[in-house]
Amino acid sequence: MSIETVPKTSRAAVLTAHGEPLEIRELPIPTELEPGALLVKIEAATVCGSDLHLWDGSLAGSQALSLPVIPGHEMVGSVVRIGEGAERDTFGQPLRAGDRICFTHASCNQCEHCRLDNQPTLCANRQYYMFTSCAEAPYLVGGFAEYCYVFPNSGRVKVPDEVPTEWASAASCALRTVVHSFDRIGRLNPWETVVIQGSGPLGLFATALADHLGAERVITIGAPEDRLKIATSFGATDIVSIADAPEPRDRIDAVRGLLGGRGADVVFEFSGARTAFTEGLGMIKEGGRYMVTGQIDGPGKEVPVRPGFITRQQLTIMGTWSGHIAEYRKALQFMRNTRRRYDFGTLVPHRYPLEQATEALTRMRAQQDIKPVLVPHATAAQVST
Amino acid sequence: MSIETVPKTSRAAVLTAHGEPLEIRELPIPTELEPGALLVKIEAATVCGSDLHLWDGSLAGSQALSLPVIPGHEMVGSVVRIGEGAERDTFGQPLRAGDRICFTHASCNQCEHCRLDNQPTLCANRQYYMFTSCAEAPYLVGGFAEYCYVFPNSGRVKVPDEVPTEWASAASCALRTVVHSFDRIGRLNPWETVVIQGSGPLGLFATALADHLGAERVITIGAPEDRLKIATSFGATDIVSIADAPEPRDRIDAVRGLLGGRGADVVFEFSGARTAFTEGLGMIKEGGRYMVTGQIDGPGKEVPVRPGFITRQQLTIMGTWSGHIAEYRKALQFMRNTRRRYDFGTLVPHRYPLEQATEALTRMRAQQDIKPVLVPHATAAQVST
Amino acid sequence: MSIETVPKTSRAAVLTAHGEPLEIRELPIPTELEPGALLVKIEAATVCGSDLHLWDGSLAGSQALSLPVIPGHEMVGSVVRIGEGAERDTFGQPLRAGDRICFTHASCNQCEHCRLDNQPTLCANRQYYMFTSCAEAPYLVGGFAEYCYVFPNSGRVKVPDEVPTEWASAASCALRTVVHSFDRIGRLNPWETVVIQGSGPLGLFATALADHLGAERVITIGAPEDRLKIATSFGATDIVSIADAPEPRDRIDAVRGLLGGRGADVVFEFSGARTAFTEGLGMIKEGGRYMVTGQIDGPGKEVPVRPGFITRQQLTIMGTWSGHIAEYRKALQFMRNTRRRYDFGTLVPHRYPLEQATEALTRMRAQQDIKPVLVPHATAAQVST
Amino acid sequence: MSIETVPKTSRAAVLTAHGEPLEIRELPIPTELEPGALLVKIEAATVCGSDLHLWDGSLAGSQALSLPVIPGHEMVGSVVRIGEGAERDTFGQPLRAGDRICFTHASCNQCEHCRLDNQPTLCANRQYYMFTSCAEAPYLVGGFAEYCYVFPNSGRVKVPDEVPTEWASAASCALRTVVHSFDRIGRLNPWETVVIQGSGPLGLFATALADHLGAERVITIGAPEDRLKIATSFGATDIVSIADAPEPRDRIDAVRGLLGGRGADVVFEFSGARTAFTEGLGMIKEGGRYMVTGQIDGPGKEVPVRPGFITRQQLTIMGTWSGHIAEYRKALQFMRNTRRRYDFGTLVPHRYPLEQATEALTRMRAQQDIKPVLVPHATAAQVST
């Protein structure tokens, strides 16, 4: 079912070589959809740290990719074509022309992780946006483009009317990952203390969520100053600035100082920093919980750990990455419910047209922008308003 | 209340210098008991790996001890004197002359770990047997002696009649630690696969418990041959012999080979080996659970770990040590319930009189004895029968 | 894809009026399969209590059905035709001609229960076998027939080679429901006591599962004598015979007598008896758990309960019904793993050809057969061997 | 250790006959304290619904009491005498003259519920304030008196400086019970909807706690108007007034109307009303959770329930009552942390001297006062200021 007039081609910002500027190309828009697939117009594509790492080639697996690819996996699309059997979102809501949706990478729905464990993010057969060559059909499989093909197996959820498009885009990777981490670490009680390592988008979303869940203390560690201000506005009871505490030992001391010499009940790692893991272990209370989300795996990524410390302190250490469609929905519900309390617009302040995609990446890398928003259908003049 | 005729002094095998033979000394038996305290006659004191490490000085904190101390913290005593208010065990069972009991190190019962978290093993104020100088009253605070003073705050539980004394002694450190680990790691389902690292007493008890809980596969890794035979008799479905697979990589391959290329749902570390932690991580399935119990903390005990691996595999890693009185009771219940299925007597085959304590330690270190049993009131002639 | 020669019609035992003998009819075999659908040859269809209630019209909703329908929802089929995209089972195992499968009722995969809660048995859009008229395509939607159409949304799992067909059939409703109940009630510890109300197939499977999970005591309540003998062979440590204890109060006293005056840690209701719920509440320990599975809802099904008893005893009461594909798989794994310990063949002793379907129902109702096995492709002579 | 000058006798408001005015009597203040006991000066004793039921004789067990007793079990005392070994509170904080504490009924610390399950509220040997005759030593075992004897086994916790005395008193039964209920029902997610049945002190505290935990919707049901206004100020997103919806069916419809036809994820029963249990079951979503706290057990308290509804809806129903020392502490932490958000002073607006105890009960029964505060050391003139 084709719903509105769709052109034959779509512009896309394409990665042809790691570290090089993205190229604007015209790619075919597929006219045939597989059963279950959708075609969407990208309303906004926010930039995630993984896009940066894909760009510079440091992301695990990115060196083995068959280029060119279209970066971007955190985006909101509005429905323009609907494949057979795709008339509803994953939760049964009818989809119509123009409905805004968020959608997941495509797990296989057939392996043990998809079916038995209810952990589709562990699916070994997952098809990823931004990791699939755009040289072959269906071509448009990344967010930095005017249109995007939604895989049949991609979970999809309608964006609630009350949630702005840019917010929803940020929910579709950053916030849903945070929600997944909180889901897995278990219940947070209002008499528990929380440390959030990192003041990037994940750390800031996590600060808001920990605040909303009523934690007794929420200590956010990060830099630079403007992000720490956002953390405070999101409910951090305390801030540890990396500028003031440049060494891991300083930050451990700062956290323990705030907690009367004790560690925190729960620590979340969202910084991705090399030393963060051992640092975080130093901040946990005996019997505490550590959720490791920001770390990237790969050769040469070892840090020293004392297993006996885990034993003797009776720690619980967990890892989480990505998210599945239930978490997208929960993330959007959280945004809708708390939109008057937390101004998530502060995380997505700047908009860029497609041809400034490279600039968006560059400014994000330089920490001049927290989470740039690509608006592929806008002109430079429009976004600068 | 004094129940039977108690002598004025008790023999004890005393550690006066790390690595030196234990000395047999006569120590005063306290005539006054604090409220809540007990005096027991040691019926059996089994030797734990920690006794070995205390002896050679490698146990964390052992270098800082004020010697002399009486080793031994895994033992069964029969009640001979009862302090005021100590007429019942921790679960309300009346205690009478001659009743056999197991008892815990003495947590303070007043800190957050004791009261709020229900995790008294994390209590910072815990008073330990074998770590308290025997040069001062109450003197008899270790298992390698004819009598032992039971601290007022030590949990205590009557040994069920069906459980032999040597078994109960082994329950009072080794098995209760295993029970604690299983308690904390969460439910084991009959469609889950388990790896047990280590075939010492903890690994063997864990093999039996995993079998009893109905795990689909129980793979025990260890050496030497005679212990692996016990593992098989305790229900291991598969054995990985360190003799056959001397390198960590070999053992990881062996486990994955047994599981069709996958890792195990749950891995337990009970070996204490230096490389075991990273090895165990290599044996877990994505989304799996790792319980680290055998490791000893301290300076220089680091091993390399990739935090991103924890993230990407969505692992859960937990530590557990020691146990509290509920676990002693569960351990004894488990022994009573399964005594016809598992012959735990194979773990405690040899008995020694007090004056052979050093020999018991030596033979255990040389793996000539799994878990020696000291019988302080027996003569050499009696135990050799 | 058609795999073997399939006739144009299939015989089926059809319910045309409640309480009347089933009629043998020839129904068309659909030649076209929807994407995701399968056609299977029924190798065995075991009879479930719900089939009895469907027959006599007492099952909730059965009066509103559009007859005729084909009874039977507990069955094993071997694959004969494979719809587009249905080349693998739900867990990714390839399906080929002749592979035996079990399959679920068809949940919608699109509602909150299917997607958010991971509880597809609560799906309001579920399509049921035996509840769908056989007067319209695809006609063959019940187990009492030579062939069956497997709905596109039905989960399906290959039967392990080691599991006999009759056993697998019994797993596909009775045992998977038991597994679901155990899954939801939470962990069973080897120091916990269990009561199983009911010695029908569910109660007997539950007895075996509780035994396998290592419960300290497994007390099975039921009748008649031959079923109680099976319960004992499945590991019941104690039996309460309804013949000996005909009144609820007697049975409560019997259970408490066996447990030293206390209630059980966990009680499972699998009997379906009118008075069983209040009786079960009388058998639980303070703080205990009650899983209610055997009860059927409907007008006039009230029993008196004291809410303050739930409060004061701090009980947990849960309900469970049916199961989803993960439970089918776990049920089959459990059978495979324990097949040498439990002779589940004792539950399915008698085979019937299709034309004796009414006799099978009649004998089951009279408790002359625990769980009859229909073998639609067999002749009377064949099954009597 | 006696800390300040303590008189020889204490005034107390004593229940001598159910339904009769309380009598002011002078009772001896015990000069000897058992080890572990304390003597406190009552700073405030708030009135609980159970005090009303004790007064009129409808409380379970109250008819069997040996009168006279001193009502009151929800109170704050300041330390005046400290028994041997009672120099610290249950969490290790030192206790000094004048320190304000809350304290629990005295569980035995020796039974399975106290030790194995960590559920001391189920202890069968619990010694209760207000249920113990004041005709014998230690006489002062209820809150409606100038002084109170704290049993050796009563948990006790220091009141944080930031928490007003009247608030802490209300925490020591009402709020700690609510905290216990929330602890047991499990995690509340910000995408879950909550119904609170009842707008008495428990219902209102629960409203605040559900709000603080970030529930998507908090629907409070109750009367009269002024209490519903407090519910709104405590974060109820919706109110169902019993005045507007006098019949259970009306209220069920109102709740389902607010939730788009569905039930709530979690329902809490805090009203104590006769019909509340069946009404609450009508408000739960399939798969939902029901916590029953407000109900009182006893003969004649049956209501009709359909067990098959629990099965088919896969409900979880739990009961909770009272609380243990960990919950007192959590309740006080919650008050301290949220004191600027929730004005709990609205629950305890009126103060009464001891001689107006009967008036306090009368006004509470007539719903003219939510939770009266007795101030035993104040004169009528002082409290009226």
- The minimum CA-CA distance between B148 and chain A, rounded to whole Å, is 26
Q: What is the ipTM of this complex?
A: 0.96
Q: What is the mean pLDDT of residues C251-267?
A: 97
pLDDT on residue B68: 97
Q: What percentage of chain D carries pLDDT values higher than 70?
A: 98
Q: Pick B118 or C327 by higher pLDDT.
A: C327
Please list every residue in chain B whose beta carbon sits closer than 8 Å to the beta carbon of residue A294.
Answer: 311
- Subunits with 3+ Cβ pairs within 8 Å of D are A, B, C
- At B123, give phi and psi (nearest 5°): -55, 130
Please give the class, per CATH, of domain A178-319.
alpha beta
Contact, A259 vs A251, CB < 8 A? Answer: no
pLDDT on residue C381: 85
Residue type, A8: K
Q: What is the mean pLDDT of residues C90-107?
A: 95
Q: Is the Cβ pair A326, C110 closer than 8 Å?
A: no
Residue D248 backbone class (left: φ over 0; alpha: ψ -120 to 50; beta: rest): alpha
* Burial class, C300, CB count within 10 angstroms (exposed 0-12 / middle 13-18 / buried 19+): exposed
Q: Which tokens sit at B332? A: 């004894």
Please give the class, per CATH, of domain B179-319.
alpha beta
pLDDT on residue A299: 81
Look at residues D20, D23, D13 and name the one whose alpha carbon lies nearest to residue D362: D20
Same fold, C9-158+349-384 and C184-319: no
Residue found by looking up tokens 């966990």 in the block:
C266
The tally of CA atoms less than 13 A away on the side-chain side of residue D226 is 8
Contact, A153 vs A106, CB < 8 A? Answer: yes
For residue D293, give the 3-state DSSP assignment: coil
The tally of CA atoms less than 13 A away on the side-chain side of residue D228 is 16
Per-residue pLDDT at C313 exceeds 60: yes
Q: Which of B328, B335, B337, B339 should one mutate to test binding to chain C, selecting the residue with the greatest count of C CBs within 10 A? A: B337
Q: Is the Cβ pair D303, C307 closer than 8 Å?
A: yes
Contact, A190 vs D213, CB < 8 A? Answer: yes
Q: Are strands A316-319 and B316-319 parallel, antiparallel or unpaired?
A: antiparallel
Name the residue among B186, B214, B216 with its Cβ closest to that of C213: B214
> How many inter-chain contacts (A to B, CB under 8 Å) are there?
142
* Burial class, A183, CB count within 10 angstroms (exposed 0-12 / middle 13-18 / buried 19+): middle
| CA A158/CA A148 separation, integer angstroms | 16
Q: Are strands D193-197 and D217-222 parallel, antiparallel or unpaired?
A: parallel
Mean pLDDT is lowest, of A107-111, C244-248, D82-86, D328-332, for: A107-111
pLDDT on residue A59: 86
Per-residue pLDDT at C1 exceeds 60: no
Q: Is the Cβ pair B326, D115 closer than 8 Å?
A: yes
Task: Write out pLDDT tens, residues D201-239.
Answer: 999 999 999 999 999 999 999 999 999 999 999 999 999
pLDDT bracket for residue A3 (50, 70, 90) = low
Long-range contacts of D49-54 (CB under 8 A, 24+ apart): D49/D200, D49/D272, D50/D130, D50/D173, D51/D130, D51/D361, D52/D361, D52/D364, D52/D365, D53/D296, D54/D15, D54/D130, D54/D131
Q: Which tokens sit at B342? A: 């598992």
Q: Which of A108, A110, A114 should one mutate to test binding to chain C, selecting the residue with the greatest count of C CBs within 10 A? A: A110
pLDDT on residue D297: 85
pLDDT bracket for residue D193 (50, 70, 90) = very high
Q: Is the Cβ pair D338, A190 closer than 8 Å?
A: yes
Q: Is the Cβ pair C212, B190 closer than 8 Å?
A: yes
pLDDT bracket for residue B9 (50, 70, 90) = very high
Q: Is the Cβ pair B338, C190 closer than 8 Å?
A: yes
> How many inter-chain contacts (A to D, CB under 8 Å) are there?
45
For residue B382, give the 3-state DSSP assignment: helix
Task: Write out pLDDT tens, residues D262-294.
Answer: 999 999 999 999 899 999 999 999 999 999 999
Q: Are strands C154-158 and C75-82 parallel, antiparallel or unpaired?
A: unpaired
Q: Are strands B23-28 and B38-46 parallel, antiparallel or unpaired?
A: unpaired
- At C93, give phi and psi (nearest 5°): -75, 135
Residue found by looking up tokens 């296989």 in the block:
A108
Residue D185 backbone class (left: φ over 0; alpha: ψ -120 to 50; beta: rest): alpha
Task: Write out pLDDT tens, residues D10-37.
Answer: 999 999 999 999 999 999 999 999 999 9
Please list every residue in chain D whose beta carbon sits closer than 8 Å to the beta carbon of residue B112.
Answer: 91-92
Query: What is the DSSP-derived secondary structure letter of residue B160?
Result: P
CATH superfamily of C184-319: NAD(P)-binding Rossmann-like Domain (3.40.50.720)
| CA A79/CA A100 separation, integer angstroms | 7
Q: What is the mean pLDDT of residues D334-358?
A: 96
- At D30, give phi and psi (nearest 5°): -65, 135
Look at residues C60, C127, C71 and name the one whose alpha carbon lies nearest to residue C295: C60
Q: What are the boundaries of each domain within chain A?
A: 9-158+349-384, 178-319
Average pLDDT of chain C, as a whole number: 95
Please list the residues that pair with C156 across neighbouring strands.
C103
Please list every residue in chain D whose beta carbon sits closer than 8 Å to the beta carbon of residue A189.
Answer: 330
**What are the angstrom distances between the C-alpha of A92 and each of A95, A242, D286?**
9, 46, 17
Q: What is the mean pLDDT of residues B217-234?
A: 97
The tally of CA atoms less than 13 A away on the side-chain side of residue D295 is 32
Task: Write out pLDDT tens, residues B357-384.
Answer: 999 999 999 999 999 999 999 988 888 6
Per-residue pLDDT at C384 exceeds 80: no
pLDDT on residue C54: 95
Please list every residue in chain B whose beta carbon sits closer than 8 Å to the beta carbon of residue C338.
Answer: 190, 214
Q: What is the mean pLDDT of residues C320-325?
A: 96
pLDDT on residue A2: 52
Per-residue pLDDT at C2 exceeds 70: no
Task: Write out pLDDT tens, residues A308-354.
Answer: 999 999 999 999 999 999 999 999 999 999 999 999 999 999 999 99
Instruction: Enumerate residues 6+ apart whose C-beta is below 8 A from D326.
Output: B115, B116
Q: Which tokens sit at A207? A: 């600060």
| CA A167/CA A348 separation, integer angstroms | 7
pLDDT on residue C100: 98
Name the residue among B88, B108, B115 with its Cβ closest to that of D110: B88
**What are the angstrom distances between the C-alpha of A331 and each of A208, A312, A325, D75?**
12, 36, 10, 43
pLDDT on residue B2: 53
Q: Which tokens sit at C297? A: 């809802």
Task: Write out pLDDT tens, residues B119-133.
Answer: 999 999 999 999 999
- The minimum CA-CA distance between B128 and chain C, rounded to whole Å, is 28
Helix (H) or strand (E) holding D337: helix D325-338
Q: What is the dihedral of CA B170, B173, B178, B183, to 10 degrees?
A: 130
Please list every residue in chain C whose beta carbon sits closer than 8 Å to the beta carbon of residue A326.
Answer: 115-116
Chain C interface residues facing chain A, Cβ-Cβ under 8 Å? 35, 88-92, 108, 110-112, 115-116, 118, 155, 325-326, 329
- The minimum CA-CA distance between B217 and chain C, rounded to whole Å, is 9
- CA A307 to chain CA centroid, Å, is 30
Q: Is the Cβ pair B298, A311 closer than 8 Å?
A: no
Nearest CA in chain B to C331: B191
Task: Write out pLDDT tens, residues D96-150.
Answer: 999 999 999 999 988 889 988 889 999 999 999 999 999 999 999 999 999 999 9
Q: Is the Cβ pair C214, B214 closer than 8 Å?
A: yes
- At A154, give phi and psi (nearest 5°): -75, 125
Look at residues A278, A295, A280 and name the one whose alpha carbon lies nearest to residue B311: A295
Look at residues D198, D166, D384, D153 and name the one whose alpha carbon lies nearest to residue D291: D198
Residue type, D187: R
Chain A interface residues facing chain D, Cβ-Cβ under 8 Å? 186-187, 189-191, 209, 212-214, 216, 329-330, 333-334, 337-338
| Overall size of chain A counted in residues | 385
Average pLDDT of chain D, as a whole number: 95
Q: What is the dihedral of CA B39, B44, B46, B50, to 10 degrees?
A: 20
| CA D344/CA C282 separation, integer angstroms | 40
Q: What is the mean pLDDT of residues C188-217?
A: 96
Nearest CA in chain C to B208: C214
CATH superfamily of D9-158+349-384: Medium-chain alcohol dehydrogenases, catalytic domain (3.90.180.10)
Name the residue among B88, B112, B329 with its Cβ closest to that of D91: B112
pLDDT bracket for residue C3 (50, 70, 90) = low
